[in-house]
């Protein structure tokens, strides 16, 4: 199958087909822990490996390592100021962990969103974000209030584009109806192991559909609206590309074996096969790889151009599904 432009590219945003997720930068998620020289070294090496294989887009969130992930990345950018104009920075806000003010919660209020973006920009050492994602649905959202935050951030030049993470088409449509700005990204968990985005489609009017939580119609809506689908967890935590299979199901073992066979036949890596399986889907899925190990990042290189034929794609899907298709 041929490689087609991803939705972000068709919108004039020169994003790479792979994104480096920066969640693992900065050490643990204890805000009191210091950032060490080792953390900065890790950040430099991860960035170098990503650039080496053509990645120019980097994904953050204000909660990652309690803000330390953004600080590490910001320091690397400070050391290479010319790089900012060559990369695309995306971050997220809306999740608030338990603190003196309340329990773990979601917050799409105007004040919280605006303050969060100011903090993100300070930590990254940049004047603007290319894309801001609202991280998880806030059941108490007032879409008019959220729209005010979006309009303020757009007018100030602090955020150029907006998107969401972990949302259904109905939740996106509600926000978009008030915001005056299109939501151009939806980041969801999708992988060869987390294949609910496919199961929803093939299980219509099937008994197997009852336990699937992936929102029906979401894939079709994103494609119709030219919304970039991003996949978090696309490598399935390495379960098909070298992680120990002890205690895993027969279907996991069978899928890992098939991935290895395809990698050998196609003269590539297991990581590239796992990602290519996602990227072969015609929706133009953009994987956000979560590793900051330079060698694993480099192992993903071929995924940008590798596409599976229909038969190999279905072989992998059926193996991961662990049963025959209906």
Question: Which positions are annotated as active-site residues?
Answer: 64
H or E element, residue 76: helix 68-79
Please tell me whether residue 207 adopts helix, strand or coil conformation.
helix
- Cα 57 to Cα 17, 208, 218, 237, 306: the distances in Å are 9, 37, 24, 21, 19
Strands (E), the chain: 19-21, 57-59, 88-93, 95-96, 105-106, 129-134, 159-165, 183-189, 228-232, 286-289
Q: How many other C-beta atoms lie within 10 A of the C-beta of residue 224?
A: 10
Angle at alpha carbon of residue 260, lines to 258 and 261, rounded to 5°:
65
Pairing of strands 286-289, 88-93: unpaired
SS3 letters across 103-135: CCEECCCHHHHHHHHHHHHHHHCCCCEEEEEEC
d(CA 186, CA 6): 13
Please name the residue ranges forming H helices in 102-244.
Answer: 110-124, 143-156, 169-179, 196-202, 218-224
Scan for tokens 């935590």, then name that residue: 237
H or E element, residue 293: none
φ, ψ of residue 183 to 5 degrees: the values are -100, 115
Scan for tokens 């119609």, then name that residue: 217
């Amino acid at each position: 199958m041929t490689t087609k432009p991803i939705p972000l590219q068709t919108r004039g945003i020169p994003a790479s087909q792979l994104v480096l997720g920066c969640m693992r930068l900065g050490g643990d998620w204890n805000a009191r822990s210091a950032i060490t020289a080792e953390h900065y070294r890790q950040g430099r090496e991860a960035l170098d490996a990503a650039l080496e294989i053509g990645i120019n887009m980097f994904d953050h969130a204000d909660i990652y390592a309690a803000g330390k992930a953004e600080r590490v990345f910001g320091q690397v950018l400070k050391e290479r100021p010319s790089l900012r104009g060559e990369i695309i920075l995306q971050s997220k806000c809306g999740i608030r962990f338990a603190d003196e003010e309340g329990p773990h919660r979601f917050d799409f209020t105007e004040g919280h969103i605006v303050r969060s973006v100011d903090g993100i920009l300070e930590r990254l050492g940049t004047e603007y974000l290319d894309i801001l994602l609202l991280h998880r649905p806030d059941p108490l959202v007032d879409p008019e209030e959220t729209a005010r935050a979006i309009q303020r951030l757009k007018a100030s030049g602090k955020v150029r584009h907006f998107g969401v993470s972990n949302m259904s088409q109905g939740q996106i449509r509600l926000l978009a109806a008030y915001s005056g700005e299109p939501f151009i990204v939806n980041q969801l968990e999708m992988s060869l192991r987390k294949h609910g985005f496919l199961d929803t489609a093939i299980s219509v009017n099937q008994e197997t559909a009852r336990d699937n939580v992936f929102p029906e119609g979401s894939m079709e809506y994103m494609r119709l609206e030219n919304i970039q689908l991003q996949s978090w967890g696309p490598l399935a935590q390495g379960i098909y590309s070298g992680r120990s299979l002890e205690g895993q199901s027969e279907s996991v073992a069978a899928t890992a074996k098939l991935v290895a066979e395809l990698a050998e036949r196609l003269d590539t890596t297991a990581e590239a096969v796992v990602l290519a399986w996602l990227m072969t889907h015609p929706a133009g899925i953009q994987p956000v790889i979560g590793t900051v190990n330079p060698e694993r990042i480099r192992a993903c290189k071929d995924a940008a151009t590798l596409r599976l034929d229909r038969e190999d794609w279905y072989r992998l899907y059926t193996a991961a599904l662990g049963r025959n298709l209906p």
